[in-house]
């Protein structure tokens, strides 16, 4: 090839990439993902009221916390929380708290997700509150659902030590203290156990590092020499043991003992490293420094005390937490002159005012390289602490960077690189996380940048001495959707309504429906224009409080109160097109009961169920699926006969049969299935059942609330389509002697590992009381018989045993067999879930009731006793109602007012029914159910 001549044009040189601008700096600061290198667990919902919410902006406690409302940090947070909760701009603190409660009630998952936006991973010190603190918070791995990478642990060494000592000394007495060698043996046991725990944590892939709170206990003036620390610990340890035995308090706060714990941890961390290694460092040790509550000694919290210790352990990275405020400069000096020291710039967001935060960042940047700064939230207990910290850091950091760029101290490119390092890269390398952040840099259209450290990784000296196992899989937990939290003129998610109408523009009416205590479906028919106005203006339908206490025929019970009002609020998630045989172009929607201010009413069956579902989900990490079987008997009407008003649709009939009579009904049955399909209700299969005229339609599993909504809407459609054929579809539990109709429910728990506690320790224990809800009429107990595959008469459970009321199908999946079609299914499942929660809270792991693989009616009394089967199911409704009245635990778990109303109304109903002749009573119930 000839060289180009002067006449040959040279190829154009590639254009240099565009230089970053301040707009791109803003984009990166506001949006780059975060690795939070130090935070804590969220409180369980049941513990929310144990800690004042205003503590999120102050380390003050007790009486001193009363003044927080006039601090700049609090006033700034109030303004920002209005934004978070979507409050009006003039909302005061009390109104903000009310709105927060509404978020936590109606949509806690959405609130948490919003608070964790932009966070890639969290390193979590799960030892806050000591060994007993874990009882108040979610476990660290529960938080995985909010982040792209699994949550890692920071092991607090004092919590490890205190837990060990409590286990060793929990049963000790003062007599033991006088025993020969008792204190020596205790020390040897403790030191062996402590070393084992730290060694195991070093090798644990989920553990990113360690932490000490010695700053709180005895200060940072730590004895730097390990041998000296070991010599000095003897007498203080003995005095500590004596106090533990006499006072049952295990907090470690004796200087020599606290010093020893830190030194021993540092020794173990150093010993784990390869011999003659100059480049490999251990997992880091975080140290609380500076900012803390009044338990801390302010003078002793100066990190300058740590210099001799830092020099003695050059292979252990030291992370000085919480900006070391007010000793930021001292900590910054150590981070600058020692390769293995890092400064964490956390906690001051949101504990310090905006100017204070900028001042702290300036001091940190005075001499500390950007590669030695780590960001954290110190988020704890409340998700809002994470949100405020991230928001305020990004604001203060951006203001500072813009100032430095405008003064030509740094370029926009350097500002961007430093931001990525502090938010993500430095922690990623220090803790050997090996994460990648995918991020749109806005440096070119469509570019996706995987974050790289400002300093090259090849320069890093941090390599893990332990080969990690494959990362833990992401949590499979997917919480169900919840309605948006209401605010002024915003009760409904308008988008749900608009999406529905976009697909169903022909709808002109809405059946606004709610199920009362007696399982009677109440309804108001609302023209679509009025329904749309309700949705857009946040309105509800007002009804008399007295309507809640009326029986099926509007007879008044003692619960009916003519004074007062409740407000019916449609749940747009249940909005569904009616079937194609409906005379109106319409939709149906199911509702909650609210009070005048829009708050949930505890006596509302639907709201009560949702509270229990939330309790299971957010306190225990358990999600549920429910699948229902619709058993229905189709009856032909006999208007000419006064004695026999109904006869079964088919008589030549058996379970799973397809006789000629069944075959002739296939067009009718298929019409039901296709109509349900047109409503968006899937039927997995249908078949003939055992009784004449009896059929079963199987619905797929769903989350509990939509599963019940779907069941109700499907039953309505079945009954209405049957009516167009001049048939009565009844869910009566025994429309004729010998015909038993159930409404079996399948309930699955995820994860399945606590299903025994839930079903055997909880549901089975409270099953006699549950029967009042699940079999709520006297006729229901005609099915409580032996040898009919109807659940039997004995209080028992068994794997694939249809002669027990609880059938275990497989690990985590159970069938409730003592359940029929007259039940208000919201109440029935509420009682089951409430009992399951009681079993979980009890925490028992061994049960007298064993897996029964036999028909209990065929066993002897001694054989049943060997399986823990000693009690019978209620054989009459009055007995079940009495059991419910006596079961205080279940009543309290469900809402005592709700249970009380139900009991009173059921007694009134039974009095009314007993006045009817038996045949008339049966027909009365057939026509209503």
Confidence of residue 489 (pLDDT cuts 50, 70, 90): very low
Provide mean pLDDT across the span 317-323: 96
- E strands, 195-267, are 207-212
pLDDT at 432 over 60: yes
pTM across the whole model: 0.56
Q: Whole-angstrom Cα distance, residue 74 to residue 352?
A: 9
Provide mean pLDDT across the span 597-612: 87
**DSSP secondary structure letters along 371-402:** GGEE------BSHHHHHHHHHHHHHHHHHHHH
Provide mean pLDDT across the span 893-916: 87
> Cα dist. 668→577, 722, 725, 741 in Å?
21, 8, 8, 20
Flag the least confident range among 402-411, 572-581, 739-748: 739-748
Flag the least confident range among 372-381, 403-412, 449-458, 854-863: 449-458
Closest residue by Cα to residue 451 from 417, 485, 480:
417
Comparing 325 with 442, the larger pLDDT belongs to 325
Say if residues 372 and 335 touch (Cβ distance below 8 Å): yes
Closest residue by Cα to residue 471 from 266, 747, 731, 206:
206
Length of the chain: 929
pLDDT of residue 105: 80
pLDDT of residue 641: 65
* 919, 920, 923, 929 alpha-carbon torsion, rounded to 10°: -120
pLDDT at 349 over 50: yes
Flag the least confident range among 141-155, 460-474, 759-773: 460-474
pLDDT of residue 244: 93
Confidence of residue 215 (pLDDT cuts 50, 70, 90): very high
Flag the least confident range among 2-11, 43-52, 379-388, 393-402: 2-11
Say if residues 713 and 679 touch (Cβ distance below 8 Å): yes
Confidence of residue 12 (pLDDT cuts 50, 70, 90): low
* DSSP-H helix ranges across 538-681: 605-620, 660-664, 666-678
pLDDT digit string, tens, across residues 535-549: 998 899 998 887 888
Q: Whole-angstrom Cα distance, residue 516 to residue 549?
A: 9
Provide mean pLDDT across the span 818-837: 94
pLDDT at 692 over 80: yes
Q: How far is CA 171 from the centre of its chain?
A: 35
Q: Whole-angstrom Cα distance, residue 135 to residue 659?
A: 60
Confidence of residue 2 (pLDDT cuts 50, 70, 90): very low
* 421, 424, 425, 426 alpha-carbon torsion, rounded to 10°: 80
pLDDT at 875 over 50: yes
Cβ atoms within 10 A of the Cβ of 206, count?
17
**Straight-line distance from the first to the last Cα atom of the chain, in angstroms, rounded to the nearest whole number:** 94
pLDDT at 224 over 70: yes
Closest residue by Cα to residue 910 from 900, 921, 919:
921
pLDDT digit string, tens, across residues 237-258: 999 999 999 999 999 999 999 9
Confidence of residue 552 (pLDDT cuts 50, 70, 90): confident
Confidence of residue 843 (pLDDT cuts 50, 70, 90): confident
Print the SS3 string covering 671-686. HHHHHHHHCCCCCCEE
Provide mean pLDDT across the span 876-883: 93
Provide mean pLDDT across the span 865-890: 92
Could you give phi then psi for residue 792, rounded to 5 degrees? 75, -175
Q: Match 């039974």 to its residue by tokens.
A: 910
Q: Whole-angstrom Cα distance, residue 514 to residue 498?
A: 22
Q: Match 């009856």 to its residue by tokens.
A: 635
* 813, 816, 821, 826 alpha-carbon torsion, rounded to 10°: -70
| 3-state SS class at 723 | helix
Closest residue by Cα to residue 322 from 215, 406, 232, 398:
215
16, burial (CB in 10 Å: exposed 0-12, middle 13-18, buried 19+): exposed
pLDDT digit string, tens, across residues 262-302: 999 999 999 876 544 555 688 999 999 987 777 788 889 99
In angstroms and rounded to an integer, the radius of gyration of the C-alpha atoms of the chain is 34
Q: Whole-angstrom Cα distance, residue 159 to residue 161?
A: 5
Q: Whole-angstrom Cα distance, residue 414 to residue 424?
A: 15
Confidence of residue 1 (pLDDT cuts 50, 70, 90): very low
DSSP letter at 648 equals E
Confidence of residue 11 (pLDDT cuts 50, 70, 90): low
CA atoms within 13 A on the CB side of 272: 24
DSSP letter at 271 equals H
pLDDT at 737 over 80: no
pLDDT of residue 445: 37
Say if residues 245 and 174 touch (Cβ distance below 8 Å): yes
pLDDT of residue 522: 93
Provide mean pLDDT across the span 356-373: 95
pLDDT of residue 639: 67
pLDDT of residue 530: 95
Say if residues 106 and 598 touch (Cβ distance below 8 Å): no
pLDDT digit string, tens, across residues 436-474: 887 876 554 333 444 333 333 333 333 333 333 333 333
Which residues, other chains included, contact 734 with Cβ-Cβ below 8 Å and sequence gap of 6+?
A: 740, 741, 779, 780, 782, 783
Say if residues 830 and 837 touch (Cβ distance below 8 Å): no
Q: Whole-angstrom Cα distance, residue 549 to residue 562?
A: 10
- Highest mean predicted confidence (pLDDT) among 3-17, 475-489, 788-802: 788-802
- Determine what percent of the chain is predicted with pLDDT higher than 90: 61
Work out the mean pLDDT of the chain and round it to a whole number.
87
Confidence of residue 855 (pLDDT cuts 50, 70, 90): very high
pLDDT at 648 over 90: no
pLDDT digit string, tens, across residues 76-108: 999 999 999 988 888 899 999 988 988 888 788
**DSSP secondary structure letters along 236-253:** HHHHHHHHHHHH------
* Residue 243 token pair: 């106090």
Domains, the chain, ordered by start? 31-44+119-431 (3.20.20.140), 494-601 (3.10.20.70), 609-927 (3.30.590.10)
Say if residues 392 and 353 touch (Cβ distance below 8 Å): no
């Amino acid at each position: 090839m000839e060289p180009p001549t002067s006449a040959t044009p040279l190829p154009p040189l590639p254009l240099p990439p565009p230089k970053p601008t301040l707009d791109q700096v803003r984009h990166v600061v506001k949006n780059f993902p975060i690795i939070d290198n130090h935070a804590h667990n969220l409180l369980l919902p049941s513990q929310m009221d144990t800690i004042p919410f205003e503590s999120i902006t102050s380390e003050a406690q007790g009486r001193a916390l009363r003044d927080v409302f006039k601090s700049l940090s609090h006033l700034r947070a109030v303004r920002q929380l209005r934004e978070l909760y979507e409050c009006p701009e003039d909302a005061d603190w009390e109104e903000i708290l009310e709105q927060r409660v509404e978020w936590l009630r109606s949509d806690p998952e959405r609130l948490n997700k919003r608070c964790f936006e932009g966070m890639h991973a969290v390193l979590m010190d799960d030892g806050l509150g000591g060994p007993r603190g874990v009882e108040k918070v979610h476990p660290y791995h529960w938080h995985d659902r909010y982040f792209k990478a699994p949550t890692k642990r920071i092991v607090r060494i004092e919590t490890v030590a205190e837990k060990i000592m409590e286990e060793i000394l929990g049963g000790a007495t003062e007599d033991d203290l006088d025993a020969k060698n008792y204190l020596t043996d205790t020390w040897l046991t403790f030191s062996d156990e402590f070393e084992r725990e730290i060694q195991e944590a070093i090798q644990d892939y989920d553990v990113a590092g360690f932490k000490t709170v010695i700053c709180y206990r005895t200060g940072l003036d730590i004895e730097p020499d390990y041998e000296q620390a070991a010599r000095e610990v003897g007498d203080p340890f003995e005095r500590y043991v004596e106090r533990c035995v006499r006072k049952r308090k295990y907090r470690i706060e004796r200087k020599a003992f606290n010093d020893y714990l830190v030194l021993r941890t540092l020794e173990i961390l150093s010993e784990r490293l390869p011999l003659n290694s100059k480049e490999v460092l251990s997992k880091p040790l975080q140290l609380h420094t500076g900012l803390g509550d009044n338990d801390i000694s302010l003078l002793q919290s100066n990190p300058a005390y740590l210099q001799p210790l830092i020099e003695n352990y050059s292979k252990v990275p030291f992370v000085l937490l919480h900006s070391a405020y007010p000793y930021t400069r001292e900590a910054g000096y150590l981070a600058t002159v020692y390769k293995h020291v890092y400064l964490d710039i956390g906690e001051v967001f949101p504990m310090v005012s905006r100017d204070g935060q900028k001042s702290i960042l300036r001091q940190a940047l005075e001499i500390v390289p950007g590669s030695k700064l780590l960001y954290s939230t110190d988020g704890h207990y409340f998700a809002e602490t994470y949100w405020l910290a991230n928001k305020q850091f990004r604001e203060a950091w951006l203001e500072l960077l813009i100032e430095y760029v405008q003064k030509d101290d740094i370029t926009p490119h350097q500002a961007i690189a430093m931001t990525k390092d502090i938010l993500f890269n430095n922690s990623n390398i220090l803790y050997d996380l090996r994460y990648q952040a995918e991020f749109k840099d806005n440096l070119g259209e469509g570019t996706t940048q995987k974050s790289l450290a400002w300093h090259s990784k090849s320069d890093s000296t941090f390599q893990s001495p332990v080969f990690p196992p494959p990362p833990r899989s992401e949590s499979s937990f997917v919480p169900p959707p919840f309605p948006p939290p209401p605010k002024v003129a915003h009760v409904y998610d308008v988008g749900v309504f608009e999406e529905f109408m976009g697909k169903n523009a022909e709808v002109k009416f809405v059946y606004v429906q709610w199920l009362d205590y007696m399982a009677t479906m109440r309804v108001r028919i609302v023209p679509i224009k009025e329904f749309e106005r309700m949705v857009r203006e946040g309105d509800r339908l007002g009804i008399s409080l007295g309507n809640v206490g009326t029986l099926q025929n509007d007879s008044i019970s003692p619960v009916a109160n003519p004074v007062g009002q409740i407000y019916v609020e449609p749940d747009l998630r249940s909005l569904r097109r009616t079937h194609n045989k409906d005379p109106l172009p319409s939709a149906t929607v199911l509702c909650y009961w609210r009070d005048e201010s829009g708050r949930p009413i505890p006596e509302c069956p639907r709201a009560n169920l949702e509270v229990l579902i939330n309790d299971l989900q957010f306190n225990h990490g358990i999600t549920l699926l429910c699948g229902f079987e619709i058993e229905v008997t189709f009856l032909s009407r006999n208007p000419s006969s006064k004695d026999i008003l109904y006869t079964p649709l088919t008589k030549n009939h058996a379970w799973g049969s397809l006789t000629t009579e069944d075959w002739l009904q296939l067009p009718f049955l298929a019409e039901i299935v296709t109509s349900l399909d047109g409503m968006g209700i899937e039927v997995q299969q249908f078949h003939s059942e055992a009784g004449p005229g009896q059929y079963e339609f199987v619905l797929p599993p769903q989350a509990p609330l939509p599963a019940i909504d779907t069941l109700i809407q499907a039953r309505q459609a079945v009954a209405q389509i049957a009516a167009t054929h001049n048939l009565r579809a009844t869910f009566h539990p025994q429309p004729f002697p010998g015909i038993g109709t159930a409404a079996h429910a399948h309930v699955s728990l995820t994860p399945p590992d606590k299903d025994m506690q839930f079903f055997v320790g909880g549901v089975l224990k409270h099953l006699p009381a549950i029967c009042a809800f699940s079999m709520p009429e006297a006729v229901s107990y005609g099915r409580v018989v032996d040898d009919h595959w109807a659940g039997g008469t004995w209080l028992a459970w068994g794997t694939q045993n249809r002669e027990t009321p609880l059938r275990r199908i497989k690990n985590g999946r159970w069938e409730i067999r003592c359940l029929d079609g007259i039940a208000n299914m919201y109440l029935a499942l509420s009682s089951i879930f409430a009992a399951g929660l009681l079993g979980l809270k009890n925490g028992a792991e061994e049960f007298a009731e064993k897996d029964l693989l036999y028909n209990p009616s065929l066993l002897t009394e001694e054989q049943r006793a060997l399986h823990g089967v000693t009690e019978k199911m209620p054989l009459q409704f009055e007995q079940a109602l009495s059991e419910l009245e006596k079961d205080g635990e279940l009543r309290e778990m469900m809402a005592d007012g709700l249970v009380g109303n139900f009991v009173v109304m059921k007694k009134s109903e039974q009095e009314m029914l007993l006045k009817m002749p038996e045949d008339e009573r049966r027909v009365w119930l057939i026509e209503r159910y």
